[in-house]
Amino acid sequence: MIEIFPWQTEQMQRLLLMHQQNRLPHALLFSGPRGIGLKRFALVFVMRTLCLSNNGQLEIACGHCKSCELFKGKSHPDLKFIEPEENGKMVKVNQIRELIEYVSFKSFSADTKIAIIKSADTMNRSTANALLKTLEEPPAQSKLILLSHYPSKLPITIRSRCQRIDFKPAYSESATAWLSEKLEHSKICPNLLLRLAGGGPLKAIELANEDYLPYRHELLEDLDLLGKENSDPVKIAKHWNEFGAENTVSWLMRIISDLVRLKLCPKKANIMNLDLREDLQGLSNRLDLLKLIRGYEFILLKYKELGGAMNYSPQSILEEITLFWKNYDDSTLKS
Ligand SMILES: [Zn+2]
């Protein structure tokens, strides 16, 4: 039986109350940082909504009625779940067309038919437009649930037709306790992981299992090296590319934003890379505040290019970053 995560109880109570009072809107938008568990939350909620055991007090689905059985077998005819076919790709227009056709038919068992769209913000304009018509004139029994880590990327026309349920970064005690239990055998501090993960506990677990934490040391060294005359920006970019451009750039953003924080307020800076404070402070002392801020803005721009519709070469984006980082000093020295 699937359950919600401990940091999601408030949102669930709110939704179940709406459900009991028959006030559930046709379209909901669940949003929150990566690794907050939006999919699990949506599935638990849908299972409860479709459950046929008619006990208004029941907070979770019964788990043994016909509907729950179908749900557990992943074959409930009144639930459709769509997501990008590949990681990092878009939800496509033909998937949305299928969904529209699906919700336009009467439900099979309960009185609702639910469709969940994961990573809804990956829809391009024409895909979003196709969905918009259904949001404007929803079939009577249909409920749409959109999941998004970046709701601001959704067209305002879509957003304005959905009721939002927001999940804040989970830094609560319940989230830390949950994470500590999951990471019983890890040497890394749960608080550090949670910070690096931007408040997404599931993302924090991923981080604990990846090799990227030691990679941060290399990135720090490279940033330091790029400030020196004999460094080779192309070679460094090549090395970064081995770890994946998107990963590198997102780690660079975390590191550089910490450097800015330490520059602005060395004693009290609320940094993400808690374990690197000393090294970060050292590098931050050697760098110019303006360079750090411009560098951060530049990397943010490049991060958007990497995730954007244009197919830039990852290597060339990384080279732009290393060159920017190297030459910024030169230009300031000349001026
Ligand atoms: Zn049930």
Q: pLDDT tens digit string along 180-220? A: 999 887 778 888 899 989 999 999 998 888 777 888 999 99
Q: Is the pLDDT of residue 237 over 90?
A: yes
Q: What is the pLDDT of residue 318?
A: 96
Q: What is the pLDDT of residue 104?
A: 86
Specify whether 110 is located in the same domain as 252: no
Q: Where is the domain boundary, 166, 185, 203?
A: 166
Contact 61, 71 (CB under 8 A): yes
CA of 52 to the centre of ligand 1 (A): 5
CA of 147 to the centre of ligand 1 (A): 24
Specify whether 160 is located in the same domain as 219: no
Domain region containing 224:
211-334
CA of 99 to the centre of ligand 1 (A): 24
CA of 26 to the centre of ligand 1 (A): 22
CA of 116 to the centre of ligand 1 (A): 19
Nearest to 96, CA basis, from 133, 63, 119, 127:
127
Residue 90 DSSP label: P
Can you tell me the distance from the alpha carbon of 279 to that of 188, in angstroms, rounded to the nearest whole number?
Answer: 18
Residue 205 belongs to some domain of the structure: no
CA of 300 to the centre of ligand 1 (A): 46
Specify whether 11 is located in the same domain as 160: yes
Residue 246 belongs to some domain of the structure: yes
Residue 94 belongs to some domain of the structure: yes
Specify whether 10 is located in the same domain as 139: yes
Residue 196 belongs to some domain of the structure: no
Q: pLDDT tens digit string along 304-320? A: 888 776 778 999 999 99
Specify whether 134 is located in the same domain as 63: yes
Q: Where is the domain boundary, 166, 198, 225?
A: 166
CA of 51 to the centre of ligand 1 (A): 4
Mean pLDDT, the chain, integer: 90
CA of 81 to the centre of ligand 1 (A): 19
Residue 195 belongs to some domain of the structure: no
The continuous run of DSSP H or E covering 301 comes out as helix 289-307
Q: Where is the domain boundary, 135, 166, 197?
A: 166
Specify whether 125 is located in the same domain as 228: no
Specify whether 113 is located in the same domain as 245: no
Specify whether 127 is located in the same domain as 273: no
Contact 114, 146 (CB under 8 A): no
Can you tell me the distance from the alpha carbon of 213 to that of 225, in angstroms, rounded to the nearest whole number?
Answer: 19
Using alpha carbons, list the distances in angstroms from residue 68 to 21, 44, 259: 22, 11, 51
Residue 189 belongs to some domain of the structure: no
Contact 255, 223 (CB under 8 A): yes
Can you tell me the distance from the alpha carbon of 248 to that of 223, in angstroms, rounded to the nearest whole number?
Answer: 12
Question: Structural domain tally of the chain?
Answer: 2
CA of 335 to the centre of ligand 1 (A): 71
164 forms beta bridges with 29
Secondary structure of 139-151 in the HEC alphabet?
CCCEEEEEEECCH
CA of 9 to the centre of ligand 1 (A): 20
Beta strands in 89-155 (DSSP E): 113-117, 142-148
Q: pLDDT tens digit string along 30-40? A: 999 999 999 99
Can you tell me the distance from the alpha carbon of 274 to that of 258, in angstroms, rounded to the nearest whole number?
Answer: 9
CA of 75 to the centre of ligand 1 (A): 14
Specify whether 162 is located in the same domain as 239: no
CA of 59 to the centre of ligand 1 (A): 11
Averaged pLDDT for residues 75-82: 93
Percent of the chain beyond pLDDT 90?
A: 67
CA of 66 to the centre of ligand 1 (A): 7
CATH code for position 312: 1.20.272.10
Nearest to 51, CA basis, from 115, 114, 8, 110:
110
Q: What is the pLDDT of residue 311?
A: 74
CA of 4 to the centre of ligand 1 (A): 16
Residue 261 belongs to some domain of the structure: yes
Averaged pLDDT for residues 75-87: 91
Can you tell me the distance from the alpha carbon of 179 to that of 172, in angstroms, rounded to the nearest whole number?
Answer: 11
Can you tell me the distance from the alpha carbon of 323 to that of 299, in angstroms, rounded to the nearest whole number?
Answer: 12
CATH code for position 126: 3.40.50.300
Specify whether 43 is located in the same domain as 158: yes
**Tokens encoding 266:** 């060395």
At a CB cut-off of 8 Å and minimum separation 6, what does 126 contact?
A: 93
Taking a 5 Å cut-off on Cβ, the residues next to ion ligand 1 are 51, 53, 61-62, 65, 68
Contact 119, 91 (CB under 8 A): yes
Specify whether 155 is located in the same domain as 238: no
Specify whether 160 is located in the same domain as 245: no
Residue 27 belongs to some domain of the structure: yes
Nearest to 28, CA basis, from 139, 167, 165, 168:
165
- Tell me the DSSP string of 172-194: SHHHHHHHHHHTTT--S-HHHHH
CA of 20 to the centre of ligand 1 (A): 15
CA of 166 to the centre of ligand 1 (A): 26
Can you tell me the distance from the alpha carbon of 246 to that of 47, in angstroms, rounded to the nearest whole number?
Answer: 35
